[in-house]
Each structure stands twice: as structure tokens, then as C-alpha cells.
Amino acid sequence: MKRSYIREILDCINEDTISFAGGLPSSNNFPLKEIQEASKEVLKNEEALQYMSSRGLLALREQIALWYTKHLGFKTKASEILITTGSQQAFDMIGKTCIKEEVIVQEPSYIGALNAYKLLGLKLKGFKNISSLKNVLKQNNALYLMSTLQNPNTTSYNQKQKDECLLHLKESKSLLIEDDAYMFLRFDGKINIPISSFYEKSFHLGSFSKIIAPGLRVGWIRANESLLDKVIIVKEALDLHTSSLSQHIISSYLENNDIFAHLEKTKKDYKNKMEFMAFCLNKYIPSFHFNKPDGGMFIYGSFEQDSYLIAKKALEKNIAIVPASVFYYDNRQSKEARFNFSNANIQEIEKGIKIIASLL
Amino acid sequence: MKRSYIREILDCINEDTISFAGGLPSSNNFPLKEIQEASKEVLKNEEALQYMSSRGLLALREQIALWYTKHLGFKTKASEILITTGSQQAFDMIGKTCIKEEVIVQEPSYIGALNAYKLLGLKLKGFKNISSLKNVLKQNNALYLMSTLQNPNTTSYNQKQKDECLLHLKESKSLLIEDDAYMFLRFDGKINIPISSFYEKSFHLGSFSKIIAPGLRVGWIRANESLLDKVIIVKEALDLHTSSLSQHIISSYLENNDIFAHLEKTKKDYKNKMEFMAFCLNKYIPSFHFNKPDGGMFIYGSFEQDSYLIAKKALEKNIAIVPASVFYYDNRQSKEARFNFSNANIQEIEKGIKIIASLL
């Protein structure tokens, strides 16, 4: 197995690199003051530094459960939430315990999930559209997907597509792993109802990385108790539990702040950056075809040449983008590429895209 | 696979339970003020909340490498250190990448390591004494051990035993996984030289859980670069990287404080508690045979009856101890048991042991 292209880029970028590569939220948008306060508050007590239950902090699991019930129309108890060390850990844990030999993935898919499944020796098969899902989804298969603001291609399923997906799931009695890291990042403020809320045999994955801060490494799994019970055994063997301090900080932050007000500000900034990046792409690289995303942190589109070569040449000029071949389970050649717009500033966005344009 | 007995106990203990079960450091000994300061310092900068390299924070890896060179006589570069989400994660990562099918373990062994290996489907074989190691260690085997203050049995190998172990390793060209979570916790302040420092094909594992605070979930692996390169691929797929905030806090703490002075205080407290627990055991349960440990957080010894039954009865009376069968790779019946003395206070120690005595 090779190292992740994105992680390798993160290793080799330096202060001169303009990175459109990683899924880095903008540091400027972290609720830094509020986290400083939360940290001060929770560190009054030694509990934030002690071992804790593998399931995670009860107060935090209750807060997350309430989100489901209130915002997603998806009635949930704290006992149906398991805290993970980032969403990334969920792929490994679920793959280990609940996927037998094969997992069906979107084309393209999130590279972190693909890597986790590959590492477990699972066989991957892809599908492009929901309508082609019935051709690959066998009885008791596992299906991994993102139904909202998919990473990398930024699309969301509409109700008809979700209904069709649900039909195939029910017919095949397959396990659904629904990764919803971007559920709260739609520019229009709407929250899509996940497919999981209509399907019992499902894991629904969330993350604080994109809505508070990724360096805390806190995500979660929502599933019914009998499914969660299988996963928790593995959680213990992997890292005992997720950072107590991170969990206490997030819980205190959520108790004392309105995260949705914070997200409104973040999304406004992201939308501005997205619009500017779209403007620059249209102006300097008119041959790059894309649709503007409805939210999230990426623009995804297609060059007229192999994007891997373009990405390599760009990296030599200290500009990082991600060629789509790394997002395909079979690493097929592709002209598509993903541009992150949340991390760089306006000046860097224009400069970076001009340099890429000069390489074409 | 069953859940870990210890983790299940942690789940079900309540505020009335006197726990001698987990390896919980005493919360009173956490350097709380210093961590408050470190947290305040590092949270001036958004970097502590952002994604980072999978290898871990360079400054922290440099600080750890310096410890090796200075205190362990084991010349080490930052590139030979990989930060892990607790030591626990190291077992999984190394097992996945570097152990083919079998791992040789001490009898008894640390339960967290056993669980991680079992979860990977690895075959386990045990050895009691170094002299019996040659009978089980095959060519290119993997050997997992703790050479200092072994958990659970608290013994340390002397130089002769280490030399013999080294001989078997060299003859069999086996991989050594040396878990040294208690290396800085000898009451006499001496630091044992690890076997790894004389053997290239080795992973040496350390942890901040017992010397700063476990809730931060930060440990490390020390190995040569070619061995580390194999492991880092897996680290990415498991959780991308360990909490940035935890790493920054520890690094800042180490820069501004003398951790060895802190440890002197902790160990003095632990030694007092150990002496008191030993006194209580001798007074109230004279049939429990044990040697006083040279450091660490446990007293290990043997009852005259099956310890699993005693532990179960004790738990009904709200006293938690760990019966040794969980520390044996084959879960054999045992009269041995582990008592943690770092977590409970003096009054609880006496009360708990009196109650256990009343059950016998």
C-alpha cells in the first residue's frame, strides 16, 4: 500500500506552498476565543486529563444525540452515539467488525475511507450513479457513501436518488455506512435528511473537524445499540478512547456557544472564497469544467488533460491540488481534480490558479 | 472477541466503587496548573487546532528523541519517532504492518496489547521466563515484552536476562516490540536501558499517559526510519494523526517544566501508597503472596483460590481488582491478581482490602 497522496503533500508543503490540496478548514474561522474559554473551564477539573469510558463523554454524546433529534429529524439517544478519533477511525472500526469482504463505494470517493478499507484487505467495487447501484449491490453487501456534499465531487443526492438508494438497500439487506462530514456546511443553511434515518442497518458518521476544528480529532458514529456494541470492542483495542481533553472542550464549547451561528459566519466566508475561486478558474483556466458547489470546501471539475500530470507539475511550482485518480478505488486515470478553497486566502487563490494556468 | 474486562469494569464503576482495577494514574498528581498554562500558551495560535503531519509535531518528536539520547543512552533522531494516539495504537499499527501470523508474549502480559493482537487475528504463544524463550521463538518471529516494571507482574529483567533475550532475538532474527510505558516510574529513579537500544529490528514504545496525563492520549514509537516508514502508512488510515492540541500542550509543558522533578513527586506519593497497600494486604489478607514492586502503579500477587471468583465477588461489594486470567493470552485459570494503588486514596485502600478480606 502506498501512502496517501494528500498526506504526502501535507508532509512536503512548506510555507511557500499554496495548498488547494488537503481538506483544511480555514484556521481564521476556528472559534479560537471560545475554545480558549472552554479549555480554561474544563481544565479546572482533573477529569479532563484522566482516562474515560471507550464510548466517550456522556455529556457530549447527549449533545450530539439532541442534534439528531432536533435538526435531522432522526430520534437518537446518547447510547446510540460512539465518539471516534476523527471520522477516519470510524472507517477502520466498522470495516473491521461489520464488513465481510466487499464494500461498494461511489466513484469517486473520499480517499481516507478508501485507504482504510484497502488496509483491511476489503475488496472495493464502484458505482457512478444511484441507478447503477442495483448492478453492483449484492445481498448483504456493504455500501459506503456520502449523500450530502460528497467529497470530492461536491454533489448531494436529491430525494428521488435517496429513495432509490433506500430501495436497493432494503432489497439487498446491505449495510449502509453514510459519511456526513459536511452535513452542516450547506451554504443555504438547509440540512439534508440522511438516508440512515430511514434505514436501521446503518452507521451514520459525523465529525467536528469541519465545524469546530480538526486538530481536536473528534468524530462520532450514530447507529442502533446492537450495531454499536460490535464496534465498541474494537475501539478499545485501537486507542482505548478518544482524547478526554478534546471531548470535554467540545462539550463545553457546545454548551456555552451557538455553533450554528458560528457556522453561518464560516459558511459566508467559504462561499465568498468559493465564488472567487470559481471566478479565477473561469477567467484563467476556462478549459477546466466544473459546477459551483452548494457548500463544503471544494470545487471539483475536469481538465482537458490527465490531472495527475498537471498536479505533479503544479507541485513543482509549489501549488498543490489533488488529481482525481486518487479518489477512484482503482486509481484509474482521470482528467478530474479537486481544489480546496477554504484554506488559502484570496491573494493565494488568484496567484495559485494563475500559475496552474501558465502550466497548461 | 469479548470486551476487555478492565474496560467493562471502568464502564460499570460508579462513585461508590473503590477501584484497584484500571491503570489509572492518580488525578491529584497531574501537573494541572502547568497544563493549564501550556494550554493557554498553545491556544494563542490556531495551529494547535489544525490538521498536522501524520508523524506528529516535530518539536515534540525532537524532545522525545533528546530523552533517548540523554537518559536512555540510545542515540535517536526526531525522524525515528512517530507519535501515536496512546501506546495502545502502536500495538495495532505494528501488528498490522510488521507481524505476519504469530507473536510471542510474556505470561502474563498487558491486556491491551493482547486484545490488539487478537483483534488482528494474530496467533499468540506465551513464555514464562527468558530461559524458556528459546523454545518458542522461531525464525523471524515477533516478540512483545515489557523489560521494565512489567504490567501486570511488575518485574524488570536484569542485565543477564536482557543479554539472553538479545541472544535469542539475534539468533532468530525476530522483531522486538518493547513496551516501556513505565520506564520513568522506578521508585529509585534509575532508568533501565531498553533491550531495543542493542537491537536494530525493534520498536520501542513510550507513553505520556503515566507520566503526564492519560486523557491526552499521546504515546510514541521509536524505531529506525525504514521500520517507521511501514507503520506511518497505517497511521494515516487509522486516524490521520494524533490530537494536535494534545501534542502542542505536551510539547509546551516539556519545554517550560522539569518533568523529572514532577515525576519525583509523583513517585514519592505512589511509593507511599504502595507501602500502605502492601501493609494492608499483609495485615488483612496474609494469604495473598506478593513481592513489593520497584515502581509503577501495581501490586501483583497470588491468592490461594481462583482470583476470577474473588474479583467477581469483590465487584458485587463495589471493590474492583483484576484477576490475572485476563492477562494470560489463553485466559487460563489463575490465582494471581493485580491491585492498582495509584488511583485510590489511603482510606479507600484500607477499606477496600478489608472488604476483600471479609469475602475470603
Cis peptide preceding B214, ω within 30 of 0? no
DSSP-derived secondary structure for B256-298: HS-HHHHHHHHHHHHHHHHHHHHHHHHHH-TT-EE---SBSSE
- pLDDT tens readout for residues A253-285: 999 999 999 999 999 999 999 999 999 999 999
| B63 in the same domain as B181 | yes
Same domain, B19 and B134: no
Residues B336, B249 share a domain: no
CB < 8 Å to B88, chain A = 237-240
Chain A residues whose CB is inside 8 A of the B116 CB are: 237-238
Peptide bond into B323 cis (omega under 30): no
End-to-end CA distance of chain B: give it in Å, rounded: 31
* A79 φ/ψ angles, rounded to the nearest 5 degrees: -70, -5
Domain CATH code at residue B296:
3.90.1150.10
Q: Same domain for A162 and A64?
A: yes
Does residue A297 register a pLDDT over 90? yes
* Phi, psi of A335, deg, nearest 5: -95, -5
Q: What is the ipTM of this complex?
A: 0.94
What distances in angstroms separate CA A139 from CA A104, A108, A177, one per listed residue? 12, 23, 16
A89: which chain B residues are within 8 Å (Cβ-Cβ)? 238-239
Cβ atoms within 10 A of the Cβ of A225, count? 10
Paired with A319 in beta bridges are A18
Domain assignment present for B35: no
CB A96 within 8 A of CB B119: yes
Tell whether A244 and A113 lie within a shared domain.
yes
Q: Who contacts B140 (Cβ-Cβ below 8 Å, separation ≥6)?
A: B100, B172, B173, B174, B175
Of B55, B63, B41, B52, residue with least CA distance to B254: B63
Computed on alpha carbons and rounded to an integer, the radius of gyration of chain B in Å comes to 20
Is B175 part of any domain? yes
For residue A282, CA distances in Å to A21, A33, A321 come to 19, 37, 17
Whole-prediction pTM value?
0.95
A10 confidence band (pLDDT: 50, 70, 90):
low
Given an 8 Å threshold on Cβ–Cβ distance, is A244 in contact with B4?
A: no
CA distance A228 to chain B (A): 13
Nearest to A49 by CA among B291, B286, B35, B137: B35
Measure in Å the smallest separation between the Cα of B17 and chain A Cα atoms: 15
Which of A24, A40, A50 to substitute to test the interface with B, most B CBs within 10 Å? A50
Q: How many CB atoms lie within 10 A of CB B190?
A: 11
Cα separation, A175 vs B191, whole angstroms: 51
- Which residue has 439487498 as its cell numbers? A172
A22 with A210: CB under 8 angstroms? no
Residue B91 is assigned to a structural domain of this protein? yes
Q: Do residues B178 and B227 share a domain?
A: yes
Say which CATH number the domain at A192 has: 3.40.640.10
Judged by CB atoms closer than 8 Å, whether chains meet at A49 and B32 is answered as yes
Closest residue of chain B to A213, computed from CA coordinates: B49
Question: Residue A236 and residue B52: Cβ atoms within 8 Å?
Answer: no
- pLDDT at B109 (0 to 100): 98
Residues of chain B positioned with their CB less than 8 A from the CB of A51: 10, 22, 24, 209, 214-215
Note the pLDDT of residue B170.
Answer: 97
Are A239 and B217 in contact (CB < 8 Å)?
Answer: yes
CA-based nearest distance B96→chain A, Å: 9
Please tell me which of the candidates B50, B96, B119 has its beta carbon nearest to residue A215: B50
* Partner residue opposite B215 with nearest CB, options A4, A48, A233: A48
Low-confidence ranges of chain B (pLDDT < 50): none
Give the pLDDT of residue A233: 85
Candidates B112, B100, B120, B87; CA nearest to B221 is B87
Cα(B129)–Cα(B126) distance, rounded to whole angstroms? 10
Alpha carbon of B81 to those of A1, A240, B78: distances in Å? 21, 21, 5
Could you tell me if B62 and B206 lie in one domain? yes
* B306 φ/ψ angles, rounded to the nearest 5 degrees: -55, 125
pLDDT by residue (tens digit) across A130-169?
Answer: 999 999 999 999 999 999 999 999 999 999 999 999 999 9
Q: Would you tell me which residues 242-271 of chain A have a C-beta closer than 8 angstroms to some C-beta of chain B?
A: 242-246, 249
The answer to whether the CB atoms of A217 and B39 lie below 8 A apart is: no
Asked if pLDDT for residue A324 goes beyond 80, the answer is yes
Q: Is residue B110 a part of any domain in this protein? A: yes
Integer-rounded Cα Rg, in Å, for chain A is 20
- Put simply, the chain A residues between 179 and 218 with a CB less than 8 A from any chain B CB are 209, 213-217
Confidence of residue A14 (pLDDT cuts 50, 70, 90): confident
User: Where does residue B325 fall: left (phi above 0), alpha (psi -120 to 50 degrees), or beta otherwise?
Assistant: alpha
Question: Rounded to an integer, what is the distance from CA A258 to the centroid of its chain?
Answer: 22
**Spatial CB neighbours of B188, under 8 Å, sequence gap ≥ 6:** B294, B295
Distance CA A320, CA A307 (A): 12
Does some domain include residue B332? Answer: yes
The pLDDT of residue A296 is: 97
User: Into how many domains does chain A fold?
Assistant: 2
Of the three residues B226, B241, B256, the one that is the final residue of a domain is: B256
pLDDT tens for each residue of B213-266: 999 999 999 999 999 999 998 998 899 999 999 999 999 999 999 999 999 999
Looking at B235, B256, B277, which one is the last position of a domain?
A: B256
Per-residue pLDDT tens digits for A65-100: 999 999 999 999 999 999 999 999 999 999 999 999
Cis peptide before A108 (omega within 30 of 0): yes
- Nearest CA distance, A221 vs chain B (angstrom): 14
Same domain as A273, residue A250: no
Does A237 contact B116 at a Cβ distance shorter than 8 Å? yes
Q: Does A176 touch chain B (CB under 8 A)?
A: no
Interface of B with A in 96-125 (CB under 8 A): 96, 112, 115-116, 118-119
Range 78-97 of B in CB contact (< 8 A) with A: 85-86, 88-89, 91-92, 96
pLDDT at A5 over 80: no
Cis peptide before B152 (omega within 30 of 0): yes
Regarding whether B199 and B169 lie in a shared domain, the answer is yes
Distance separating alpha carbons of residues A137 and A205, to the nearest angstrom: 21
* pLDDT of res. B114: 96
**Pair (B97, B211) in one structural domain:** yes
- Nine-digit cell string for A89: 477511525
Min Cα separation A232/chain B (Å): 8
Kindly list the residues from chain A whose CB atom is less than 8 angstroms away from the CB atom of residue B241: 217
Counting every residue written for chain A, the total comes to 360
Strands (E), chain B: 18-19, 81-84, 102-106, 123-127, 142-145, 175-179, 202-207, 219-222, 289-290, 298-302, 319-320, 322-323, 336-340
Q: Are residues A97 and A203 in the same domain?
A: yes
- Residue where a domain terminates, one of A256, A284, A309: A256
Question: In the A/B pair of chains, how many CB contacts fall below 8 A?
Answer: 199
List all residues 6 or more positions away from A319 whose beta carbon is below 8 Å from its beta carbon. A17, A18, A19, A20, A352, A355, A356
- Report CB contact under 8 Å: B39, A40: yes
Residue B355, in any domain of the structure: yes
In a domain, B36, yes or no: no
Query: Pick from A162, A173, A124: which is nearest to A330 by CA?
Result: A124
Residues B133 and B231 in one domain: yes
- Who among B11, B50, B245 is closest to A53 (CB)? B11
The answer, for B50 touching chain A at a CB cutoff of 8 Å, is: yes
Whether residues B236 and A1 touch (CB distance < 8 A) is answered with no
Q: Where in the sequence is the domain holding B14, given as residue range(s)?
A: 5-30+260-359
Q: Would you mind telling me the total number of residues written for chain B in this entry?
A: 360
